[in-house]
Amino acid sequence: MFKQGELVEIITASQQFKGVFIKEEKDFLVLKLGSGYNVGIAKRNIKDKKSLGAPKHEAGEEKHSKESQNDKLPLISLLHTGGTIASKVDYNTGAVIAKFTPEDILALFPELKNLANINSRLISNMLSENMRFSHYNLIAKAVEHEAKEGAKGIIVTHGTDTLHYTAAALSFILENVSIPVVLVGSQRSSDRPSSDSASNLLSAAVFITHCKAGGVFVCMHENTSDESCLIIEGVNVRKMHSSRRDAFRPINKGLVAKVDYSSKKIEWVKDLKKSKEDSKLRLFNENIKVGLVKSIPNMFADALESYKDYDGLVIEGTGLGHMGFSEVDEHTKENAEIGKSLKHLAGKMPVVMTSQTIYGRIDMNVYSTGREQLGMGIIGNYADMTPETAYIKLAWLLSNYKKEEIKALFEKDLRREISERSEKESFLI
């Protein structure tokens, strides 16, 4: 039979398949097609099969030497944390795994050398669902170091699943950051023909070379083609699709800029102002425990009580920011218990209300439910942060400020995470 990683051709009665051999099961073979997707082929349907080449993984690892630098170009530091943008096929499973070193990234995207001098550094090599607060601190410290070494800007390669959490976290940690820090991911791995790695990474570099202010941003596809990328502030971005290349959208705020991938030109949408204050780090306490719970029909009070030993709680409420805790008939007795739990938690820790609608602003003054929540001490009124940004902000505040300061600071705009007014133009753009 074939070896893992071998290029093969398999013919059935109705189809012809060409791809990389992944593995053989009892009744079928698994190939990775040129599109990047896996396919299982039943053995009983195979009419002919043949090898088209040696296993890719037997060719050995390519070694990349350091590139000479151009003194006329700005310095961009590339901090590598893993994710799909730095992934390739694992021929044992057919999945993609974080495997490229920073040198591999430079070899993959040689156009970077025409835009800036690149200093690449490995922070971690992990899929983003494994990120913890301690990793945010590691990245932030690396950003501070590279800035002191003279970097014009920083690109952080990151897995897309929790990229928006990290973008928000760095936005709060890096107070008054003087250079642009751009998080870049990829929805398709770098060894797939449909990969968005190159356009995202190169567009981020173009943005940095033209940006004259500091801040934390995300650079990802504008649409499903490779024509342009969006620059979005780190506290106002969210992953809105599991697989589309244009999955990241700005929430409740407009864009910062659009980068044309072909021409390398920038369309500025927002005027960024450089901070006059000194930059500093305010790190996370990695032991802080903050919960994030969604209000749902037929909820039970013990779902809230499970957070009684936490330091804070964020609620994804319904609509304008509500949780059902009213006993209105014989079927809603448990709702009253939810109200007791909610009041108990709000009395011992910061409890924040957000909305699962994603877009829009919290207003707990409109309905009686909201007004009762305000009476319990629940905070977050009039904010329009995503639940993810609210979660990160609360954890960061608890890490750096006294408990009695949290309410005022949470409802204060610290990093442009709360907009002054709701803009209809920002909905679903």
Positions annotated as catalytic residues are 84, 160-161, 239
| End-to-end Cα, the chain, rounded Å | 50
Residues linked to residue 117 through DSSP beta bridges, in sequence order: 75
User: Tokens representing 419?
Assistant: 């907009």
Report how far residue 8's alpha carbon sits from residue 218's, in angstroms, rounded to the nearest whole number. 39
Side chain identity at residue 274, one-letter code: K
Sequence-separated (6 or more) residues with CB below 8 Å from residue 63: none
Report how far residue 300's alpha carbon sits from residue 346's, in angstroms, rounded to the nearest whole number. 17
Asked whether the beta carbons of 183 and 166 are under 8 A apart, the reply is yes
Q: Which of 105, 327, 309 is nearest to 200 (CA)?
A: 105
Residues linked to residue 419 through DSSP beta bridges, in sequence order: none
- Report the SS3 class of residue 248: strand
Q: What angle do CA 63, 209, 172 make, to 5 degrees?
A: 95
User: Tokens representing 374?
Assistant: 């305000």
Which phi-psi region, left, alpha or beta, contains residue 281 (left: φ > 0; alpha: ψ -120 to 50)?
Answer: beta
User: Tokens representing 60?
Assistant: 């050995």
Q: 206 burial class (0-12, 13-18, 19+ CB within 10 angstroms)? A: buried
Report how far residue 120's alpha carbon sits from residue 146's, in angstroms, rounded to the nearest whole number. 10
